[in-house]
Amino acid sequence: MATAANPTRDDFEALLNEQLGNADDGGFEGRVVKGTVTAIEGGAALVDVGLKSEGRIPLKEFARGEDDHGLSVGDEVEVFVDRVENADGEAMLSRDRARREAAWDKLESEFGEGKRVEGRIFGRVKGGFTVDLDGAVAFLPGSQVDIRPVRDVTPLMDMPQPFQILKMDRRRGNIVVSRRAVLEETRAEQRSELIDQLAENQVIDGVVKNITDYGAFVDLGGIDGLLHVTDMSYKRVNHPSEMIEIGQTLTVQIIRINSDTQRISLGMKQLESDPWDGVSAKYPVGAKFTGTVTNITEYGAFVELEPGIEGLVHVSEMSWTKKNVHPGKIVSTSQEVEVVILEVDSDKRRISLGLKQAQGNPWDDFADKFPVGSKVSGEVKNATEFGLFIGLEGDVDGMVHMSDIAWGISGEDALALHRKGEQVEAVVLDVDVEKERISLGMKQLEKGAPSAEGADASSMRRGQTVTVTVLEVRDGGLEVQVGEDGATGFIKRSDLGRDRDEQRPDRFQTGQKVDALVTGFDRSKKPNFSIKALQISEEKQAVEQYGSSDSGASLGDILGEALKKSED
| DSSP calls for 457-487 | HHT--TT-EEEEEEEEEETTEEEEEETTTS-
pLDDT band for 3, please (50, 70, 90 cuts): very low
The per-residue pLDDT for 40 is 79
Q: Which of 7-21, 93-107, 159-173, 284-298 has the lowest mean pLDDT?
A: 7-21
Say if residues 382 and 389 touch (Cβ distance below 8 Å): yes
The larger pLDDT score, comparing residue 417 to residue 265, is at 265
Task: Confirm whether 198-271 and 458-545 share one CATH topology.
Answer: yes
pLDDT of 548 over the 70 cut: no
DSSP secondary structure of 434-449: TTTEEEEESGGGSTTP
pLDDT at 568 (0 to 100): 53
pLDDT band at 351; cut points 50, 70, 90? very high
* Dihedral sign for Cα atoms in the order 506, 508, 509, 511: negative
Closest CA to 337 of 362, 361, 363, 310: 310
Dist CA 178 CA 175 (whole Å): 10
What is the average pLDDT score of the chain?
80
What kind of fold does domain 198-271 have according to CATH? OB fold (Dihydrolipoamide Acetyltransferase, E2P) (2.40.50)
The single-letter DSSP state of residue 218 is E
Assigned fold of 114-184 = OB fold (Dihydrolipoamide Acetyltransferase, E2P) (2.40.50)
Q: What strand order describes the sheet that includes 55-58?
A: 55-58, 44-48, 31-41, 76-83, 92-94
Mean pLDDT of 247-274: 87
Range with the poorest average pLDDT among 12-21, 63-72, 344-353, 559-568: 12-21
**CATH classification (class only), 364-445:** mainly beta
**420-460 confidence digits (pLDDT tens):** 888 999 999 888 888 888 999 888 887 545 444 343 555 67
Q: Residues 84-127: pLDDT tens digits?
A: 666 565 667 766 677 777 778 788 888 888 888 889 999 999 99
Task: Report d(CA 66, CA 62) in Å as an integer.
Answer: 9
> What pLDDT is attached to residue 389?
92
User: Where along the chain do its domains lie?
Assistant: 27-112, 114-184, 198-271, 285-358, 364-445, 458-545
Of 21 and 486, more confident: 486
Fold (topology level) of 27-112: OB fold (Dihydrolipoamide Acetyltransferase, E2P) (2.40.50)
pLDDT, tens digit, for every residue of 513-542?
899 988 877 655 678 889 998 888 888 887
Q: What is the pLDDT of residue 24?
A: 47
Tens digits of residue pLDDT in 288-304: 999 999 999 999 999 99
Q: Quick one: average pLDDT of 483-503?
A: 84
CA distances from 90 to 58, 80, 97, 212, 355 (A): 14, 14, 17, 70, 104
pLDDT tens readout for residues 182-197 = 888 887 777 777 787 8
- Which residues pair with residue 401 across a beta bridge? 387
* Domain covering 458-545, topology: OB fold (Dihydrolipoamide Acetyltransferase, E2P) (2.40.50)
Residue 67's pLDDT is what?
A: 52
Give the pLDDT confidence score for residue 339 in this predicted structure. 92
Res. 266 pLDDT band, cuts 50 70 90:
very high
